[in-house]
Amino acid sequence: MSHLVTGIAQLVTNDPALGDGSELGLLEHAAIVVENERVAWVGPAVQAPSADTATDLGGRAVVPGFVDSHSHLVFAGDRSAEFAARMTGEPYTGGGIATTMAATRAAGDEELLEHVQKLLAEMRSQGTTTVEIKSGYGLDVEEEARALRIAAQVTSEVTFLGAHVVPPALRDRREDYVKLVAGDMLAACAPYARWADVFCEPASAYAFDGDETRTILQACAAAGLELRVHGNQLSAGPGVQIATELDAASVDHCTHLTDADVAALGAAGQRIDPENPSTGTVATLLPGVEFSTRSPYPDARRLLAAGAVIALASDCNPGSCFTSSMPLVIALAVREMNMSPAQALWSATLGGAIALRRNDIGRVRVGARADLAVLEAPSYLHLAYRPGVPLARTLEL
Ligand code: NIG
Ligand code: FE
């Protein structure tokens, strides 16, 4: 069955070989043919071939579906009171993760899965077509494996984050927890996960310092997992340096960066081949977190000038940022992180794909997955120009 999609006023392909030659590869008055969930043809509408069925989008813009490369959707409970306290001056420390751990452990499998599905539906309804999901609210062997089993039911981008924080029961025995994560927990979790992640943050009593982070990530890599890091969120810690040294696919947050961190991310970005992203480290920025924790926003322009490759993601989680909206993330990145609307859209689509080392998503070209978002607008600029307005939806054919 082939489907012809017409009435596309502006198509963002992210393929400079198509359209206007810019990074976004813009095509005006475009059409797409989709077959077996893949793009079979893309080009000017006047040249479109015929197909079995047709959809006319009536002059709307189409962009690659958003690739949300960082989320924590497997959880139960509510931390809105913690958010309210922050808005009146309390700092974010990561300490609330233990609250979510207790609520998550108390929830049944069905309840957790239904909640994940509800959040995913929320994401899809706003144009997101790929979502990475982390564990990290189980914090013992069985509970972390359970979270990953649930995540694996809805996405192939599953991340083992047993090293989210040291659970309260082991706070005085951190070394034991690090051993557990790198040993029995990893063994139980590796079959369900593609990725491993660590919350590297020496400034927090709860997260993991540089040595602990290295130990855990090296064990995970030896078990065949690919690496990502929560780094430099609360302070200019060693997360960026460790991530780039170990060739992690991405280091996420990057809120507090030294000049050496910016240089390392620039060099790591130069190692990335966007056509075949198998090496190099992306800087994943999460502006929803700065928004929801009243933290300073990192300067994306400084990173781009150094040569870094930037992804934008939601970090959807109950503590530091409970938004599922990639359009909001794009608007914040433009307003607060000095990105142009074009750079922000690229980072929320192809940037996310590269952060997941995927070359089948994030672009509209023949052979790629036909993961598309339609905008209730004539151009992609409206994503940042009309903040808070629900313009994007996933194109369901
Ligand atoms: O990405 N920083 C660590 N983890 C999450 C927050 C988790 C939580 O507070 O529940 C983050 O910000
Ligand atoms: Fe996170």
Q: What is the pLDDT of residues 191-210, one digit of tens each?
A: 999 999 999 999 889 999 99
Please indicate, yes or no, whether residues 320 and 185 belong to a single structural domain of this protein. yes
Average pLDDT over residues 174-186: 98
Please indicate, yes or no, whether residues 176 and 269 belong to a single structural domain of this protein. yes
Please indicate, yes or no, whether residues 304 and 326 belong to a single structural domain of this protein. yes
Please indicate, yes or no, whether residues 372 and 277 belong to a single structural domain of this protein. no
pLDDT band at residue 304 using 50, 70 and 90 as cut-offs? very high
Please indicate, yes or no, whether residues 375 and 237 belong to a single structural domain of this protein. no
Report whether residue 371 contacts ligand 1, using a CB cutoff of 6 Å: no
Q: pLDDT over 90 for what percent of the chain?
A: 99
Q: How far is the CA of 72 from the centre of ligand 1 (A)?
A: 8
pLDDT band at residue 4 using 50, 70 and 90 as cut-offs? very high
The confidence score (pLDDT) of residue 122 equals: 98
Closest CA to ligand 1's atom 12: 320
Please indicate, yes or no, whether residues 278 and 210 belong to a single structural domain of this protein. yes
pLDDT band at residue 220 using 50, 70 and 90 as cut-offs? very high
Report whether residue 233 contacts ligand 1, using a CB cutoff of 6 Å: yes
- Nearest Cα to Cα of residue 248 among 143, 115, 341, 355: 355
Q: pLDDT over 70 for what percent of the chain?
A: 100
Q: What would the pLDDT profile of 224-277 be if each residue is shown by its tens digit?
A: 999 999 999 999 999 999 999 999 999 999 999 999 999 999 999 999 999 999
Which residues define the annotated binding site for 4-imidazolone-5-propanoate?
79, 137, 164, 233, 320
Average pLDDT over residues 288-306: 98
Average pLDDT over residues 322-348: 98
The confidence score (pLDDT) of residue 286 equals: 99
- Nearest Cα to Cα of residue 300 among 315, 316, 311, 289: 311
Please indicate, yes or no, whether residues 112 and 155 belong to a single structural domain of this protein. yes
Return the CATH number at 36: 2.30.40.10
Please indicate, yes or no, whether residues 121 and 13 belong to a single structural domain of this protein. no
Please indicate, yes or no, whether residues 351 and 236 belong to a single structural domain of this protein. yes
Residue 321 has pLDDT above 90, yes or no: yes
Q: How far is the CA of 10 from the centre of ligand 2 (A)?
A: 33
Report whether residue 75 contacts ligand 1, using a CB cutoff of 6 Å: no
The confidence score (pLDDT) of residue 264 equals: 98
The confidence score (pLDDT) of residue 60 equals: 98
Please indicate, yes or no, whether residues 346 and 377 belong to a single structural domain of this protein. no
Closest CA to ligand 1's atom 1: 315
Return the CATH number at 160: 3.20.20.140
- Beta strands 226-231 and 250-253: pairing type? parallel
CB 189 within 8 A of CB 74: no
- Distance CA(249)–CA(256), nearest Å, equals 19
Q: What would the pLDDT profile of 350-366 be if each residue is shown by its tens digit?
A: 999 999 999 999 999 99
Residue 369 domain boundaries: 2-64+363-394
Please indicate, yes or no, whether residues 234 and 265 belong to a single structural domain of this protein. yes
How many domains does the chain divide into?
A: 2
The confidence score (pLDDT) of residue 203 equals: 85
Please indicate, yes or no, whether residues 275 and 166 belong to a single structural domain of this protein. yes
Residue 283 has pLDDT above 90, yes or no: yes
- Distance CA(124)–CA(211), nearest Å, equals 38
The confidence score (pLDDT) of residue 225 equals: 98
- Average pLDDT for the chain: 98
CA atoms within 13 A on the CB side of 155: 33
- Distance CA(292)–CA(332), nearest Å, equals 11
Report whether residue 320 contacts ligand 1, using a CB cutoff of 6 Å: yes
Residue 150 has pLDDT above 90, yes or no: yes
